[in-house]
């Protein structure tokens, strides 16, 4: 058993709302519109979101109900509301909404319904989820009632598909720069680009996970990989970056470009898409199954998120993606280092994503690619940051992705991971002690009126 495997995470509830930290929830407005029939459709969405809030309030953390009678009545009302909604939208969206209504009403099995929707491979104009959902699996394995409505963005979807079409060109640069000729992305998970219109229940709960997207498998065990997808809520990502990441970056980053100057409209989508692909990068020697349990769950997840971050960043600054995206390399550097702060702030001792951010910043600082002063402020340059990320990718390829066992990963984490005393700890301390005015999580609301016949007040997502 590895010594790193003894790093057990903190108890579940403190890990997701750490009691030692102050927390704040920011509120931002959702201004997206349904793809059709907004005046009729939006009030229905808000009513379903409010009913979903009520439904979630009847569930304990393990999914058991405190009132079966109340839950039954809500399920019936929401199923009727979904059928009403289906009459007011396009045929493709309506067919999927009716499947969800049948599952909610108990006419079909929820798991089988999810499998049927996944098998269709549809990306409807209006995405609706209404039923049991694991929004963040480390938080709870129990599916809890959620509601989510999102409108497909055809123009941005076309842009993302263009990034995907040039994935091999981007990988050619990684193969060359990392001296890894056998490097491939083993599977490209579909990503649907949408704007969030409303949410309720567990999907609207706090704290939300870092990027806030719909899980690839909707929390259904055994869903085939090729039937999974990521529902990317782009407007929410932009709002979260503006409300949380930018204030952290303004306080702590000193470099060639400050966060407010970055064209996040251009950089955030390829940034998250690169991260998504980065999770599936392998080399011929990759064999995690033989040793990841020895390393331990949390250390392994921290490395996996670091791998996704670093390879994803290198894809995002490859020549093909720069050309398609219309952003500059320095803009992507500024976006990535700012997002690193947001992720790390949530506690590298608690989650894989912040653990990865700590590894990245520790590596960059310890090897002179960035400088961190005594107050935790980070001085960086475009050249130094890009060189450092390339060096870290080389190290991760050698120690983890292409490694025959866990020893290289253990050494990497021992030197750069939490709780190693690197300059990154000063930045973490500044965020968690001095920047407590910056929100931890976001709530989303709509200013649209709900008809007086609605059963609940306006829903906050």
Q: What residue spans define the domains of the chain?
A: 23-153+190-240+440-461, 255-438
CB 418 within 8 A of CB 349: yes
- Whole-structure pTM over 0.85, yes or no? yes
Overall average pLDDT of the 295-310 stretch: 96
**CA pair distance 306, 369, nearest whole angstrom:** 17
Q: Residue 332 has what pLDDT?
A: 97
23-153+190-240+440-461 classified as CATH 3.30.540.30: yes
CB 82 within 8 A of CB 108: no
**CA pair distance 431, 378, nearest whole angstrom:** 12
Q: What is the pLDDT of residues 96-106, one digit of tens each?
A: 999 999 999 99
Average of per-residue pLDDT values in the chain: 90
Q: What is the pLDDT of residues 311-337, one digit of tens each?
A: 999 999 999 999 999 999 999 999 999
**Beta-carbon contacts of residue 221 (< 8 Å; ≥ 6 apart):** none
Q: Which residue has the higher pLDDT, 247 or 135?
A: 247
Most confident of 59-63, 348-352, 377-381: 377-381
Q: Residue 59 has what pLDDT?
A: 96
Q: Residue 350 has what pLDDT?
A: 87
Q: What is the pLDDT of residues 428-460, one digit of tens each?
A: 999 999 999 999 999 988 766 443 444 333 333
Taking 50 as the threshold, does the pLDDT of residue 142 lie above it?
yes
**CA pair distance 273, 331, nearest whole angstrom:** 16
Overall average pLDDT of the 222-235 stretch: 83
- Strand-strand pairing, 281-282 and 253-254: unpaired
Taking 80 as the threshold, does the pLDDT of residue 111 lie above it?
yes
Taking 70 as the threshold, does the pLDDT of residue 5 lie above it?
no
**CA pair distance 238, 47, nearest whole angstrom:** 25
* DSSP-derived 3-state class of residue 108: coil
- Strand-strand pairing, 191-201 and 126-133: unpaired
Overall average pLDDT of the 110-137 stretch: 87
How many other β-carbons are positioned within 10 Å of the β-carbon of residue 338? 25
How many other β-carbons are positioned within 10 Å of the β-carbon of residue 365? 22
CB 27 within 8 A of CB 443: yes
């Amino acid at each position: 058993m590895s010594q790193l495997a003894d790093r057990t995470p903190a108890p579940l509830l403190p890990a997701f709302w750490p009691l030692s930290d102050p927390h704040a929830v920011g509120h931002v407005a959702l201004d997206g519109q349904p793809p059709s029939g907004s005046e009729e459709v939006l009030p229905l969405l808000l009513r379903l979101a409010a009913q979903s809030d009520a439904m979630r309030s009847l569930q304990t953390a393990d999914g058991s109900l405190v009132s079966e009678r109340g839950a039954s009545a809500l399920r019936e009302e929401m199923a009727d509301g979904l059928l009403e909604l289906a009459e007011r939208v396009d045929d493709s969206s309506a067919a999927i909404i009716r499947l969800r209504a049948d599952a909610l009403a108990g006419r079909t099995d929820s798991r089988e319904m999810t499998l049927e929707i996944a098998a269709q491979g549809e990306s409807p104009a209006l995405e609706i989820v209404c039923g049991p959902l694991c929004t963040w699996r480390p938080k709870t394995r129990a599916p809890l009632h959620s509601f989510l409505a999102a409108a497909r963005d055809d123009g941005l979807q076309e842009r993302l598909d263009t990034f995907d079409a040039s994935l091999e060109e981007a990988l050619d640069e990684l193969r060359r720069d990392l001296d890894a000729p056998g490097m491939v992305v083993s599977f490209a998970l579909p990503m649907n680009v949408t704007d969030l219109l409303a949410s309720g229940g567990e999907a609207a709960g706090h704290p939300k996970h870092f990027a806030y997207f719909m899980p690839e498998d909707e929390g259904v065990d055994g869903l085939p990989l090729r039937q999974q997808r990521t529902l990317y809520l782009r407007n929410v990502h932009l709002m979260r970056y503006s409300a949380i990441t930018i204030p952290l970056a303004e306080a702590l980053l000193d470099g060639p470009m400050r966060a407010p100057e970055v064209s996040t409209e251009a950089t955030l989508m390829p940034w998250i898409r690169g991260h998504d692909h980065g999770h599936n990068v392998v080399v011929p020697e990759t064999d995690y199954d033989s040793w990841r349990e020895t390393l331990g769950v949390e250390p392994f997840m921290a490395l996996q998120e670091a791998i996704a971050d670093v390879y994803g960043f290198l894809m995002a600054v490859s020549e093909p993606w720069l050309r398609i995206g219309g952003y500059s390399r320095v803009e992507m550097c500024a976006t990535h280092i700012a997002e690193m702060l947001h992720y790390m702030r949530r506690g590298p001792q608690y989650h894989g994503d912040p653990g990865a951010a700590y590894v990245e910043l520790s590596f960059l600082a310890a090897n002179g690619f960035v400088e961190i002063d005594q107050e935790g402020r980070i001085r960086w340059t475009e050249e130094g940051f890009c060189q450092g990320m390339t060096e870290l990718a080389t190290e991760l390829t050698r120690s983890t992705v292409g490694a025959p066992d866990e020893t290289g990963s253990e050494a990497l984490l021992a030197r750069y991971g939490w709780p190693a005393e690197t300059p990154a700890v000063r930045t973490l301390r500044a965020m968690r002690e001095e920047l407590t005015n910056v929100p931890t999580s976001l709530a989303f609301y709509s200013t649209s009126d709900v008809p007086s016949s609605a059963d609940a007040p306006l829903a906050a997502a």
